[in-house]
Amino acid sequence: MKNEFLQNILAFARFNCLIDKENNMVDKLSDPIGRLMGLRYKSHPWHGIYIGKDAPEKVTAFIEVVPTDTVKYEIDKDSGYLRLDRPQKYSNVIPALYGFIPQTFCGDEVGEFCMQKTGKEGIKGDGDPIDICVLTEKDITHGDILVHARPIGGFRMIDGNEADDKIIAVLSNDVVYDTYKDITDLPSIVIERLKHYFLTYKDMPGRNKDTEITHTYGVDEAIEVIKHSVSDYQKRFDNLGKLMY
């Protein structure tokens, strides 16, 4: 009886075009059941927020850290709340809004794509949602927010033997950055600052540095990375989707 009820809900969602058929992902912001649940419970930022109907060309991003933060916040995967990851040891701060793309996962496909592009072996995804930096000329003073962003490129970062790509995006309709269509359009100093942050923010006394950025890639490759991360998410959390829908 329970399975039949869940199947009826899923059929209703499909009938009302609430599922992105290409990505097979439910838009819970339009789903009436999801809206009712959202009135009582906070949606989990990783699993409960829709990536966006125009993804991967335009995505929803959950922002964890902003440039004024002197500590690094990170999503707690179990509860969905932000937790303090660590104080920044040195004075470097993220020069953009920083967070992740919901309903993505750095798994086997992301790792294999990294190996194809670098020629390295033994690379796997880092097991987290795909990271994203969102450029804007506005001063946004706190994280734990959702923004709409347009990917323009990314960094192929490897941490140990794990693929840890950083998607670079611009805030949708930003009066300055929305004019940039590809990462090659950005001033070189913007790219250098982002690289410096990611190559130094994990520096800790007594810890060997094992992080590198092998490539800076453009918008087309960024879209491919996001597609692989969406596919990895569907494989990794297939049972979650069945339970929810």
pLDDT, one tens digit per residue, over 133-190 is 999 999 999 999 999 999 999 999 999 999 999 999 999 999 999 999 999 999 999 9
DSSP secondary-structure letter at 50?
-
Any domain includes 9: no
pLDDT at residue 93 in the model? 83
Nearest to 97 by CA among 43, 52, 156, 138: 138
Query: Cβ(107)–Cβ(127) under 8 Å?
Result: yes
Any domain includes 90: yes
207: confidence class by pLDDT, cuts 50, 70, 90:
low
Any domain includes 169: yes
Backbone phi, psi, residue 151, to 5°:
-60, 140
Binding residue positions for substrate: 72, 86, 98, 201
pLDDT at residue 238 in the model? 80
Q: 61 has which bridge partners?
A: 147
CA distances from 42 to 45, 77, 80, 101, 220 (A): 9, 14, 9, 17, 34
Binding residue positions: 72, 86, 98, 126, 131, 164, 201
CA distance 68 to 189: 19
Omega cis (within 30) before 151:
no
pLDDT at residue 203 in the model? 63
Binding residue positions for Mg(2+): 126, 131, 164
Highest mean pLDDT among 36-40, 72-76, 198-202: 72-76
CA distances from 226 to 25, 154, 163 (A): 14, 10, 13
Model confidence at 220: pLDDT above 70: yes
Write out the residue range of the structural domain in which residue 88 sits: 54-237
DSSP secondary-structure letter at 151?
E
Q: Which pairing describes strands 131-135 and 97-100: parallel, antiparallel, or unpaired?
A: antiparallel
CA distance 104 to 127: 10
- Averaged pLDDT of the chain: 84
Any domain includes 39: no
245: confidence class by pLDDT, cuts 50, 70, 90:
very low
Model confidence at 91: pLDDT above 80: no
Full-model pTM: 0.83
Any domain includes 134: yes
Amino acid at 202: K
Any domain includes 2: no
Nearest to 181 by CA among 190, 189, 192, 170: 170
CA distance 168 to 197: 13
Any domain includes 102: yes
Structure tokens that stand for 219 in this block = 């918008």
Backbone phi, psi, residue 116, to 5°:
-60, -40
From the CB of residue 159, how many other CB atoms can be counted at a distance below 10 Å?
A: 13
CATH code of 78's domain: 3.90.80.10
206: confidence class by pLDDT, cuts 50, 70, 90:
low
64: confidence class by pLDDT, cuts 50, 70, 90:
very high
| Residue carrying the six token digits 């009826």 | 8
CA distance 30 to 16: 10
**Domain total for the chain?**
1
Query: Cβ(118)–Cβ(142) under 8 Å?
Result: no
Share of the chain above pLDDT 70, in %: 75
pLDDT at residue 42 in the model? 80
41: confidence class by pLDDT, cuts 50, 70, 90:
confident
pLDDT at residue 122 in the model? 97
pLDDT digits (tens, 9 = 90+) for 7-33: 444 444 444 444 454 454 545 445 566
90: confidence class by pLDDT, cuts 50, 70, 90:
low
pLDDT at residue 65 in the model? 95
pLDDT digits (tens, 9 = 90+) for 105-140: 999 999 999 999 999 999 999 999 999 999 999 999
Any domain includes 6: no
Structure tokens that stand for 238 in this block = 């297939």
